[in-house]
Structure 1
């Protein structure tokens, strides 16, 4: 049987659950647990995601992990052009055929077969240019690194609406003082405002996952908090502060500063009490410590990890 699928009976180009299973069967594909593949099989859920992402007609959108094309077709139906990154070779080969089989002009879609964490340049769409939004059902096992890497490498991405594991959304959207506030929360806050954008039923996936899913919306700041060097320094401070959550800052950052006494002096010079803990600090506080550390010659070596 062919891997292509035509327009549904309603005239919509979106994929039904039956379409998705037929596409996978025809191509000899099955969801990979190792790669965190769970495909959305409900067109209404796809429309909700596209609507909450604020997708505009004529906009270029980046999608990571398009899979069999459920969300891709939703974005295209809304009038956006799509640049997609897909790691799975079988899915990458199938997707263009699925889209053209549903009447999509080839100029409205670009596919990169690669690991999203290794991509350093995004394809431009002939009519819409470079992507300004990330809208994706991210592989849950690498969702946070992918989100933070995209934000770091591609400043043209103005907003992100991604579906990930529900508890990851809670962490990404958390504010200082929350019990789930941690390094991902603070690092995401460097880039912009985050908000919980709704929960997604397990029943809309194939296969049905054993975790709950949700949406997080991140809107990038109009102006960056600091330079790229300051971001790297700040992320190292964040990593140190959350390496052992229950430690006071002067102890948690002793390795970064070259001793707890020196760490205490640097933190105090940033206007922050050294006895506070990392989970009470906003991103601006971490930046202040990083700047004070730079003046004192602390924490300059190495590179900050993406998550």
Structure 2
């Protein structure tokens, strides 16, 4: 796990039952102690956020267009200090209370505000977590054995709602994307944060890959010649896998593959594609773009598009045949018969 620096942490409680129209608040006036337990909690929540394959991404609305962005801007201008952080969290909780009024089905919980840095990227994380009932073994009063008892603890393995805002001029926002059955309930969270131009990680990844397909092949640093397309695709997947916070910045991409040239930035500007401030990659969608896999009747086949273009794998749709031209693979299978 990458080192996490926890700057400030505070928690507030939001009381709301799904069948109720109104919400109540229990606000904290003091920060939580930034000890090892707090760091472990935030690191675990951030890691859980990282594992989400598809997120909603966009930008904060202008400070004068919504309550949350306005309070966020004040916090930044006040230097992100302790008192300003407490006030920012309290004011935005009150805004959330207003946003929840009349929303049937929405539930409350503990909203944790975390100001932290990881992978040299400063973030504001907001995680809605809830209590969970469980069982524990308690020693009997007669010391003759144990008995089961109930207990309540934080369910840190499930995020009810979560959002990260990347510190910087881009005001980039990432939110957990919920299933369509929860869209009406979770929409209030997006409205509260003031998310604009929201798109999913999968959609943005496909947009990025379409743009990359329009670029010239970068130079191979070892040979000085243009890279082979297959080599570039492998390098691209490796680059995405190592990107901090799974976020690709256009400037960093151009520098990594093209040095002082800026072909991707130029293309995005000319085509008005909104990726300039970076985006969270969907690794699964990226791999599917280059790696193909199919299973039927107990037979599984996996290959790359390079295998198709080279003729190593041939698909005849008319005859319904998939031919793999590999002596080594044939021998490997025959050896097991």
Establish whether TM, by shorter chain, passes 0.5.
no
Which structure shows the bigger proportion of residues in helix conformation? 1
Q: Which has the larger radius of gyration?
A: 2
Structure with bigger RCO (C-alpha 8 Å, 6+ apart): 2
Q: What TM-score results when the alignment is normalised by the length of structure 2?
A: 0.26
The TM-score normalised by the length of structure 1 is: 0.27
